[in-house]
Amino acid sequence: MPQLDPSVFPTQLFWLALTFIPLYLILWKVALPRVTDVRESRRGRIESDLEKAETLKSEAEAALADYEKTIAEATAKAQDAVREAARKMSEDADKQREALAAKLGEQLAAAEQRIADEKARAIGDIGDIAGDLAQAAASRLAGGDISRDEANAAVSAVMQERA
Partner 1 sequence: MASPLEQFEIHPIIPLQLGDVDVSFTNSSLYMVLTVVLTAGFVLLGMRNRALVPGRFQCAVEMSYEFVANLLRDTVGNEGRRYFPFVFTLFMFVLFGNLLGMTPYSFTITSHIVVTFALALVVFLGVTVLGFVKHGFHFFSFFVPPGTPLPMWPLLIPIEIISYLSRPISLSVRLFANMLAGHTLLKVIAGFIGILSFAGILPFAFVVVLTGLEILIACLQAYVFTILTCLYINDALHLH
Q: Name 88's Cβ contacts closer than 8 Å, sequence gap at least 6.
A: none
Q: How many helices (H) and strands (E) does the chain have?
A: 3, 0
Total interface residues for partner 1 by CB under 8 A: 36
50 binds partner 1 (CB under 8 A): no
Identify whether the C-beta of residue 132 lies closer than 8 Å to the C-beta of residue 152: no
Longest Cα pair distance anywhere in the chain, in angstroms? 195
Stretch 3-22 residues interacting with partner 1 (CB under 8 A): 3-5, 7-20, 22
Polymer length of the chain: 163
Minimum CB separation from partner 1 for residue 35, in Å? 5
Cβ proximity to partner 1: between 4 and 163 the closer is 4
Residues that bind partner 1 (CB under 8 A): 1-5, 7-20, 22-24, 26-28, 30-32, 34-35, 37-39, 41-42, 45
